[in-house]
């Protein structure tokens, strides 16, 4: 046999090819901790807010989870998974909020669909829903309970109430068609659509008012209306101003334009002894109190609503107004 043995020479080549293939297969998997670090760093360098949690939620979503809590850092992501993370993280680089990228978000124990530009529910609003729950649980079990929400957005507050109180009915009015569609979709997903009427329109429109009169009497009104003042609008993050509906945010010069409408309509539509819960900006509660106490005749407003109390949020800021109809 001639030396070097050519048939032998083939062997290392075959082994090398196999090794290469195995190495290639291994390198197409990426360790979760490396992917997480990579995207966190990328977000940091591009000044994306919440870089670490943005990367975490996107990776977790790709793995079919909500967070990476309890997931081993050395978990391997397949090429397809790493590619999906990359595609979603690239969208995050445009400043789109993670909730819109994932297409869903949790509110209390509900997972709701999210779609731009409908407002993403904020954590404080879970407190507002909790305050409403507390009020509803103290109402007589004999009376028929119908709730009115003005500005449901994704439907978060109303749907959480409908889920908690199986006998409850609700009517939700929103000026945004996208919000109404999302509320309906989320109602369908949470199995509450048979107890919910969604009306698309401005709370101040007379046709909306007439429609609401056919549902009277409401035992509870709730609203997290747009209350950001014109001056504050300029200070909001890009995530908010570029992706969320300004009609969901901007409450005019003093932030109370829609709030006044909510007060007017609730004073007309709530039953005697009915409750209204509002989420407002931290400077607003005394102004809401003043508005309801004054002998004002703004658009025929009657002071049937009595200011009961202000409740602070978890950060200690006065954010929630409780009013009761006489
Ligand atoms: C701050 S968002 C609240 C959304 C949701 N309730 C939440 O807490 O996540 C305010 C909502 O009020 C709606 N809205 C604004 N002006 C309105 C009006 N004049 N009549 C009815 N809905 C209005 C907006 O479209 C938006 O969906």
Q: What is the pLDDT of residues 221-257, one digit of tens each?
A: 999 999 999 999 999 999 999 999 999 999 999 999 9
Residue 258 near ligand 1, beta carbon < 6 Å: yes
Domain 6-94 adopts which CATH fold? Helicase, Ruva Protein; domain 3 (1.10.8)
Length of the chain counted residue by residue: 326
Nearest in space to 321 (alpha carbons), one of 222, 241, 244, 190: 222
**Contact (CB, 8 A) for 156 and 129:** yes
Burial classification of residue 3, based on how many CB atoms lie within 10 Å of its CB (0-12 exposed, 13-18 middle, 19 or more buried)? exposed
Q: What stretch of H or E contains 322?
A: strand 318-325
Name the closest-CA residue to atom 17, ligand 1: 175
Q: What stretch of H or E contains 206?
A: helix 206-213
Indicate the range of 1-15, 48-62, 95-109, 177-191 predicted with least confidence. 1-15
Is 23 a residue whose pLDDT tops 90? Answer: no
Encode pLDDT of 176-220 as tens digits: 999 999 999 999 999 999 999 999 999 999 999 999 999 968 999
Encode pLDDT of 131-161 as tens digits: 999 999 999 877 789 999 999 999 999 999 9
Mean pLDDT within 34-52: 98
Encode pLDDT of 88-133 as tens digits: 999 999 999 999 999 999 999 999 999 999 999 999 999 999 999 9
Name the closest-CA residue to atom 7, ligand 1: 121
Q: How many A from CA of 109 to the centre of ligand 1?
A: 22
CA distance linking residue 101 with residue 89, whole number of Å: 9
Is 16 a residue whose pLDDT tops 60? Answer: no
Q: What is the pTM of this model?
A: 0.90
CA distance linking residue 18 with residue 21, whole number of Å: 5
**Contact (CB, 8 A) for 196 and 187:** yes
Residue 274 near ligand 1, beta carbon < 6 Å: no
Matching residue, tokens 């007060």: 263
Residue 281 near ligand 1, beta carbon < 6 Å: no
Between these two residues, 167 and 299, which has the higher pLDDT value? 167
Residue 251 near ligand 1, beta carbon < 6 Å: no
Residue 30 near ligand 1, beta carbon < 6 Å: no
Indicate which atom in ligand 1 lies nearest the CA of residue 120. 9
Q: Give the start-to-end residue ranges of the domains of the chain.
A: 6-94, 107-325
Q: How many A from CA of 23 to the centre of ligand 1?
A: 55
Residue 155 near ligand 1, beta carbon < 6 Å: no
| CATH code for residues 107-325 | 3.40.50.150
Name the closest-CA residue to atom 9, ligand 1: 121
Residue 97 near ligand 1, beta carbon < 6 Å: no
CA distance linking residue 136 with residue 168, whole number of Å: 9
Indicate which atom in ligand 1 lies nearest the CA of residue 122. 9
């Amino acid at each position: 046999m001639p030396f070097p043995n050519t048939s032998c020479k083939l062997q290392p080549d075959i082994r090398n090819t196999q090794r290469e293939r195995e190495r290639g297969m291994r390198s197409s998997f990426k360790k979760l901790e490396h992917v997480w670090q990579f995207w966190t760093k990328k977000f940091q360098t591009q000044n994306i807010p919440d870089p670490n949690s943005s990367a975490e939620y996107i990776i977790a979503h790709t793995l079919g989870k909500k967070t990476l809590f309890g997931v081993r850092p050395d978990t391997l992501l397949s090429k397809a998974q790493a590619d999906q993370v990359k595609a979603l993280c690239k969208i995050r680089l445009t400043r789109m909020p993670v909730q819109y990228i994932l297409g869903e978000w949790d509110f209390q124990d509900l997972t709701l669909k999210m779609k731009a530009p409908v407002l993403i529910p904020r954590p404080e609003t879970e407190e507002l829903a909790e305050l409403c729950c507390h009020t509803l649980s103290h109402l007589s079990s004999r009376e028929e309970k119908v709730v009115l929400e003005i500005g449901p957005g994704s439907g978060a507050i109303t749907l959480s109430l409908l889920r908690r109180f199986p006998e409850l009915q609700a009517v939700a009015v929103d000026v945004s068609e996208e919000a109404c569609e999302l509320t309906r979709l989320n109602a369908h997903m949470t199995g509450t659509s048979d107890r919910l009427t969604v009306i698309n329109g401005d709370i101040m429109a007379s046709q909306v008012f007439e429609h609401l009169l056919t549902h009277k009497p409401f035992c509870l009104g709730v609203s997290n209306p747009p209350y950001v003042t014109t001056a504050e609008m300029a200070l909001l993050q890009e995530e908010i101003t570029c992706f969320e509906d300004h009609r969901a945010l901007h409450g005019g010069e003093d932030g109370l334009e829609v709030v006044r409408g909510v007060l007017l309509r609730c004073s007309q539509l709530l039953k005697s002894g009915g409750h209204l819960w509002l989420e407002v900006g931290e400077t607003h509660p005394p102004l809401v109190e003043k508005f309801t106490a004054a002998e004002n005749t703004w658009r025929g407003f009657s002071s049937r609503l009595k200011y009961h109390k202000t409740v602070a949020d978890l950060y200690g800021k006065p954010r929630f107004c409780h009013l009761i109809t006489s």
